[in-house]
């Protein structure tokens, strides 16, 4: 069996629809809880796959959350070795920072469902099933990042130029949330209640959009992420 480790920052932002996909591809999954588990003890190169998930803190806030230093060190080591790595939302921002790029507040909160705009390289990649003509995408972030040197941008939106990038042969990062499970998003609406209120988000409308778009995203993301997993090296 292949071994995947997922670093989780808040309990409800988990692997979502990616969890059954990993099981179907022969992975056992272990969660490590950021800020609770000692990430500095983890052998950065040992897992067959490392996934860094989302969360409500900034990738640049290590002064407030010192465990971010351990995550950044873990990602630098792993990325330099070209070991399979997936970042989602905060995870993508941490990957960008680990690769030397700047992470900073974006022009506005981007929360809700909106299609991705795949650029030519994205349309020719495993992300093709996530094209905006095929599915909408869940966005939930306030920060953004510069594209790391040597990375290839794959997708954008009007508010966020860098929605997805690949680096090396085996690293993929999403600013957005392809793993979003429509059956479990009510936990997000509760857990992020303060952020949603401050951003002026209409929660009933967001819930309705999630019911409308979520099942299609789940199918398309399974195709895209399944194709990405299939091209990773076998242990």
**For the domain that residue 219 is a member of, what is the CATH number?**
3.40.50.880
Rg of the Cα atoms in the chain: 16
Cβ atoms 127, 111 nearer than 8 A: no
Q: Does residue 87 form part of some domain?
A: yes
* Cα–Cα nearest to 79, from 156, 166, 147: 166
Could you give the residue ranges of the DSSP H alpha helices within 108-155? Answer: 120-123
**What pLDDT shows up at residue 178?**
98
Q: What is the mean pLDDT of each run of 10 residues along the chain (235 residues)?
A: 97 97 97 96 96 97 97 97 98 98 95 97 97 98 96 95 96 98 96 96 98 98 98 87
82 phi and psi, to 5 degrees? Answer: 60, 40
Q: Does residue 235 form part of some domain?
A: no
**What pLDDT shows up at residue 11?**
95
Cβ atoms 112, 206 nearer than 8 A: yes
- Identify the domain containing residue 163 by its residue range: 2-230
d(CA 13, CA 94): 16
Could you give the residue ranges of the DSSP H alpha helices within 116-178? Answer: 120-123
Domain count, the chain: 1
Could you give the residue ranges of the DSSP H alpha helices within 83-177? Answer: 90-98, 120-123
Q: How far is CA 77 from the centre of its chain?
A: 19
Regarding pTM above 0.95, the answer is yes
**What pLDDT shows up at residue 235?**
75
Q: Does residue 218 form part of some domain?
A: yes
d(CA 137, CA 115): 5
Q: Does residue 11 form part of some domain?
A: yes
Q: How far is CA 159 from the centre of its chain?
A: 17
């Amino acid at each position: 069996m292949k071994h995947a480790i997922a670093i989780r920052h808040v309990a409800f932002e988990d692997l979502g629809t990616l969890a059954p996909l990993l099981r179907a591809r022969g992975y056992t999954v272990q969660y490590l809880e950021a800020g609770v588990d000692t990430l500095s003890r983890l052998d950065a190169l040992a897992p067959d796959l490392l996934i860094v998930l989302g969360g409500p803190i900034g990738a640049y806030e290590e002064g407030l959350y010192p465990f971010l230093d351990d995550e950044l060190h873990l990602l630098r080591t792993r990325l330099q070795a070209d070991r399979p790595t997936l970042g989602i939302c905060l995870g993508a921002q941490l990957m960008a920072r680990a690769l030397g790029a700047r992470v900073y507040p974006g022009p506005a909160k981007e929360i809700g469902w909106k299609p991705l705009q795949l650029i030519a390289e994205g349309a020719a990649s495993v992300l093709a099933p996530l094209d905006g003509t095929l599915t909408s995408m869940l966005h939930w972030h306030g920060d953004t990042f510069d594209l790391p040197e040597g990375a290839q941008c794959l997708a954008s939106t009007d508010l966020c130029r860098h929605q997805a990038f690949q680096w090396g042969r085996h690293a993929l990062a999403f600013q957005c949330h392809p793993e979003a499970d429509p059956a479990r998003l009510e936990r997000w609406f509760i857990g992020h209640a303060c952020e949603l209120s401050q951003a002026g988000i209409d929660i009933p409308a967001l819930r309705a959009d999630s019911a409308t778009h979520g099942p299609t995203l789940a199918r398309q993301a399974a195709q895209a992420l399944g194709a990405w997993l299939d091209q990773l090296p076998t242990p």
